[in-house]
Structure 1
Amino acid sequence: MHNNLPFILAMIAAIVLLNTLAGKLRIAYPIVLIVAGLLVGFFPGLPMVKIDPDLIFFIFLPPLLFEASWNISFKEMKKWWRIIGSFAFLVVFFSALSVAVVAHHFLPGFTLALGFLLGGIVSPPDAVSTGAITKFVKIPKTTSAILEGESLLNDASSLIIFRFALIAVGTGQFFLQQAALSFLWMVIGGVGIGLFLGWIFIQAHKRLPLDAPSNIALTLIEPYFMYWLAEQLHCSGVLAVVSGGLFLSAKRLIFFNSSSRIQSSSVWESFVFILNGIVFLIIGLELPEIVDGLRQKGIPLTTAISSGVLVTGVLIASRIISSYAALLATYIFRPAVIPHARSNRRRWLMPLLLGWTGMRGVVSLAAALAIPITLENGSDFPQRNLILFITFVVIFLTLVLQGLTLPVLITRSGLFEGVVEEQPEEDTRRKIKHGLKAHIYQFLKSRHVTASSDQAIIEKLLFQWEERAKASDDSWMSENTKAIFLELLEVQRQYLTELNKDPLIDETLIRQQLYQIDLEEERLKII
């Protein structure tokens, strides 16, 4: 362990430098990391970083899913739940089925069970990769919400397929009725355990005298505990983390103070960034061993590469076909929920964008690395090295091919400029600030002008709020005035929470305003 510690620290430093390079080149950092992972595999003399396959999911998945569920807009998920549900379950299953059929017929040594195993690994698109790529271009809020919601749920559906396929490969048997009952228990039990533990953790945050570092430390272990308990009860650990994370996120204003909310955002962002980078580099370090394993099995490297290209093509085609099928079904059964566009031509081009955003990433890598090395009888797991290699090729091609061309498709083609927002962002931001000012003004006038004997201080409070400017001299801020200000900030939070119920208001803007309020509260604490 001590011998590998300098190398692990060097990996983290390399991840930071690669992210800086990606920012300079205006390229999404997952693309740079996957290329770096490929190059790392060719460096001689680097130590092998071995992680027990049974621990891969437990180490990487819980925090990645928890952070995603913490930051997603649950309101937008509810608004577009039909499209999100179809992509997260139906499209993932169709993609896995397509890969299974093609792998069974065209890849040597692949049974249908192995095909489903490969399909379950490579079927879920990666939200981190998509978000990192689309941040350089402007995409509609509707599309962003659909992609974020899909990313949370497609991991669960694909990993359920992965689990059943893994059992089928190990036992050689598959019982549909038993699988259906197990699926129901995994879904219902996973969601139930996540919500129950989420409530337990909320009570712990509220009742224990925790400061900001302690609160953040507790959140770091929460996803691991949710995942572990659900897996012990043979439920879906992924759904437990997602449901628990969504529940905690919705209640963050209740059990987190401003210090905890501000500091936790930075801690979690850094933690998840490092985890993503480590997974990409680990697969690069294992590539030489994977290639050697292919040679020992008599599988030429050209065959492995062509297999990866074939599976990538199947995934891209199946996602685009599914996108158009989903739009067609919506036209027939629910035309009222179709996202607005200026013309039918551009509306029918929208599925192309959704289909082209199927970049694969960390979840697929973690799933592939989690394949056991041997079966229960001690024999080698069939086609493990080929599955790992195909997964790497799929991730590499989708990130590089789709990742580099997606911004060009959006900015230069003009195909998606017709997808307009229900309410422009600047108008929404202006509406929020105007409503907030009016609400606070009325609160101060009705609550404190008559209750306070110091009329001058009240007038100064009103002036400061209306001008939205910080006073250069805080000497006038007495303890009584500070208490009024803190009460004022809490009233703002309550107002924004109620305003967030408006379906036309983007929750991201609400959260940005809440973050500014938290910063203002922290400033008041040091006066």
Structure 2
Amino acid sequence: MTALYTLVLLLIGVIGTNLIKQFFPKIPEPFILIIVGIFLSFTPIFQNFELEPEFFMLMIIAPLMFLDGQKQSFSKIKKRFSIIFLLSVVLAVATAIVVGLIANRVEVQWTLPLAIALAAIVVPTDAVAVKSMTSSVDMPNGVGEALELESLFNDATGLVLLDLALSVLEQGKFSLIAGIGHFLFVAVGGALIGVIAGFLLVTIRTNITFRTVSPETTIIPISLLTPFIVYFLAESFGTSGILAVVATGIVHNWESNKLRLTSTRVQLTSNTIWESISNVLNSIVFIILGISLPIVWQEIIHMGLVGIMQLLGLSILIYIAMYAVRYIWAFREDNQSANTFFDSHSNPKQHRFLSHIFAISGVHGTMTLAMAFSLPLTIANHAFPYRAELIVVATLIILISMLMSAIILPIALPKKAVTYTKADLENTRNKMVDYASLKVSETTANPAVREAIMIQLQSQKGWLNDNHSTRNYNSQKYNSLLNNTKDFIIHYLHSDSVEQKYSSEVIDAYEKILNRLKISSFFQHSPLQRFFHYVKARYRHIKWHVRNGQITKKQRLKGRKKWAKEHQGSAQQWQNIHEGLLLLNNDVIGEVNQHLDNLLRNSLDNDTDDHQYISYVRQRFDRYFNLIKREYNQETPTINSDLYIQAFQFEYNYIQQASSTGIIPNTLAAVLYNEINEAQTLELQQINQIEAMNS
């Protein structure tokens, strides 16, 4: 149960952060997550919490690295292999050597292997943290790609270096040849296991895909288990589990490219699930960092002011050294890919700037803290020397790197170019839906089918969930059009064509019903008020039936027959009026829809953004018309899926025309294309479910 409570609290922290960040949009999300984690550390479950590295690596880092591997194509890895090796291995090892020598020089009581252990801990970088802190600015593409490629494998480099340093501390000796051999075994072995396991799993998945009717029920669970199985398998052979899951992810990317549009349902579902898992795990990483900080703070308190100031100075010095190594490497590296990333030939000033951005973007995250906590309590039958100091320095470097990036990058980098605003998206979506609704009205003969499709299309606007201020903004136009439409109906009722077709009794009865329609905003009363009105009406209804002895259905039927027998002439007359009302109601529906369609068409032709009130009025009169039709037991029509496909095609056509003529930017068109595609998929799924239940 403790594990369940822990997971629930972490998820609550993620949810809470998503709510909090709406009120503090300028604060980078990682800092909000860390603060939430600090607050969670005061709960009973997380008191005296200490990060378990093995659990963290297996349950969080492994799936994240597997997903990162899936984003990298094999052809790209092959093309960029040299720069990946330089970034993830050469740069990481060079950084570790420089940091180790500085730490050994400053802290003279630390042995060189101990200093190298610290250096290995602070080697891994966190590209996700950089993305989170630069979400509002435009990160240069070359630098962004370099950071992604660097973080893809340097976690494994840091782990191997740490393992090597701990081995030297335990054995008391170092062999260069043995060290290189161990490094190659762990790295190459992990990658090889990942590739072999990846191809085996891909073969299994491919056979299942082509040999079963519903492959997603098997494929997706296999996909979710893959990073854990591969990581555990690689670690059990003494190789790098991180490199193994990255390699497996790359193989799975190859599988996706091979399948292309085959088994799209499996691929779409899998991508959606993995994207959600990735977002949650990336948030949990920073929450765990926040939860771990109070433990580090307790270590700091025990060291005293002089001790902590000394470690703070060492942390700042190490950070400056890492910045210098990264800057010099980016500025001096003559690799072809590096030249492309950092623009080394065309513009020297830009080259220096990009090198600076790359250096400052070397943010360290929870991976560094997990490696620090992985230091054993004892080594070579003795207490691990200066373990608390190493953890404190690693934590300080994490915080310094995050703060420096959060402060400098938003200042140094330009703001992201905004091609469209939220208002532009909403206005274009509204016009798209209204355009499709008009086309449906023109091409669909059955009023009930037309109304059902238009209601579904209008739900794409999301205006039923709109806030109260927006409703008040529309209330004046809404009331005006409601009043205008009511006058339009009355004028139509007294037209020559209607008076010739229907009796005066039918017209008078319909007009009396119409006059009961309140000319007030539908949104004027709260849901609670409308509920009380409903309860009051039901009470009067029940009271009348009790008073007249018509409680049960049998009693009510008997009462109706008795009344019909005693008033045969009146009953026949009322039946005729009912039939006339139904026919007249259908005619009025057609006229009102045509009237509102003309208003909406004129609004779209004049490129007016504010025509939401027309939808409000249409909804109000639809309720009025349905009130009459329900008295005659009108059933909800069955709608063919082809009609929905046609309706969504109208939306596609509108966006395509608006995009090709330059009315909306391509980025906005892409968002709406995706919305239409998702809406169509959902609608067809619901239709299939209904058909399956009715069959």
TM-score (norm: length of structure 2):
0.56
1:447 counterpart residue number = none
2:189 counterpart residue number = 189
1:262 counterpart residue number = 268
How far did 1:515 drift?
Answer: 8.1
1:205 counterpart residue number = 205
1:438 counterpart residue number = none
By relative contact order (CA 8 Å, sep 6+), the higher-ranking structure is 1
Residues 71-470 of structure 1: pairs in structure 2 closer than 5 A: 71-72=71-72, 76-107=76-107, 109-208=109-208, 209=212, 211-254=215-258, 257-293=263-299, 299-300=303-304, 303-304=307-308, 306-330=310-334, 339=343, 343-375=347-379, 377=381, 379-411=382-414
Is contact 1:95–1:315 with CA below 8 Å preserved after alignment?
no
- Residues 166, 334 of structure 1: alpha-carbon distance in 2 compared, 3 angstrom cutoff: closer
Q: Separation in 2 of the partners of 1:48 and 1:86? A: 40
Q: Separation in 2 of the partners of 1:78 and 1:203? A: 22
How far did 1:352 drift?
Answer: 0.4
- Residues 521, 245 of structure 1: alpha-carbon distance in 2 compared, 3 angstrom cutoff: farther
Q: Separation in 1 of the partners of 2:89 and 2:220? A: 33
Is contact 1:133–1:403 with CA below 8 Å preserved after alignment?
yes
Unpaired stretches in structure 2, ≥5 consecutive residues: 420-456, 458-637, 650-666, 688-695
Is contact 1:320–1:352 with CA below 8 Å preserved after alignment?
no
Is contact 2:41–2:47 with CA below 8 Å preserved after alignment?
no
Q: Separation in 1 of the partners of 2:62 and 2:671? A: 26
What fraction of aligned residue pairs are identical, expressed as a percent?
24
Is contact 2:137–2:413 with CA below 8 Å preserved after alignment?
yes
How far did 1:380 drift?
Answer: 2.7
Is contact 1:60–1:275 with CA below 8 Å preserved after alignment?
yes
> Deviation string for 1:292-349 (max 9, x for gaps)?
45666xx325523542453344234433433333432318999688637863211222
- Residues 203, 335 of structure 1: alpha-carbon distance in 2 compared, 3 angstrom cutoff: closer
How far did 1:243 drift?
Answer: 1.0
Amino acid at match of 2:12: A
> Deviation string for 1:278-299 (max 9, x for gaps)?
4434444444444445666xx3
Is contact 2:96–2:116 with CA below 8 Å preserved after alignment?
yes
Residues 493-508 of structure 1: pairs in structure 2 closer than 5 A: none
How far did 1:354 drift?
Answer: 0.5
- Residues 80, 331 of structure 1: alpha-carbon distance in 2 compared, 3 angstrom cutoff: closer
- Helix, strand or coil for the counterpart of 2:125? coil
2:10 counterpart residue number = 11
Q: Separation in 2 of the partners of 1:215 and 1:75? A: 25
Is contact 2:101–2:112 with CA below 8 Å preserved after alignment?
yes
- Helix, strand or coil for the counterpart of 1:251? helix
2:484 counterpart residue number = none
How far did 1:406 drift?
Answer: 0.8
- Helix, strand or coil for the counterpart of 1:63? helix
Q: Separation in 2 of the partners of 1:7 and 1:207? A: 38
How far did 1:40 drift?
Answer: 5.2
Amino acid at match of 1:128: V
State how many pairs are aligned: 442
Amino acid at match of 1:93: V
- Residues 97, 211 of structure 1: alpha-carbon distance in 2 compared, 3 angstrom cutoff: same
How far did 1:266 drift?
Answer: 3.3
RMSD of the TM alignment (CA)? 4.0
1:496 counterpart residue number = none
TM-score (norm: length of structure 1):
0.72
How far did 1:248 drift?
Answer: 0.6
Amino acid at match of 1:9: V
Is contact 1:34–1:281 with CA below 8 Å preserved after alignment?
yes
Is contact 1:65–1:242 with CA below 8 Å preserved after alignment?
yes
- Residues 169, 338 of structure 1: alpha-carbon distance in 2 compared, 3 angstrom cutoff: same
Q: Separation in 2 of the partners of 1:233 and 1:68? A: 23
- Helix, strand or coil for the counterpart of 2:414? helix
Q: Separation in 1 of the partners of 2:140 and 2:198? A: 32
- Residues 333, 254 of structure 1: alpha-carbon distance in 2 compared, 3 angstrom cutoff: closer
1:498 counterpart residue number = none
Amino acid at match of 2:31: I
How far did 1:101 drift?
Answer: 1.3
Is contact 2:134–2:410 with CA below 8 Å preserved after alignment?
yes
How far did 1:194 drift?
Answer: 0.7
How far did 1:395 drift?
Answer: 1.2
Q: Separation in 2 of the partners of 1:334 and 1:376? A: 43
1:490 counterpart residue number = none
1:70 counterpart residue number = 70
Is contact 1:72–1:148 with CA below 8 Å preserved after alignment?
no
Unpaired stretches in structure 1, ≥5 consecutive residues: 418-424, 426-469, 486-507
Is contact 2:41–2:49 with CA below 8 Å preserved after alignment?
no
1:499 counterpart residue number = none
Amino acid at match of 1:411: P
How far did 1:193 drift?
Answer: 0.8
- Residues 334, 219 of structure 1: alpha-carbon distance in 2 compared, 3 angstrom cutoff: closer
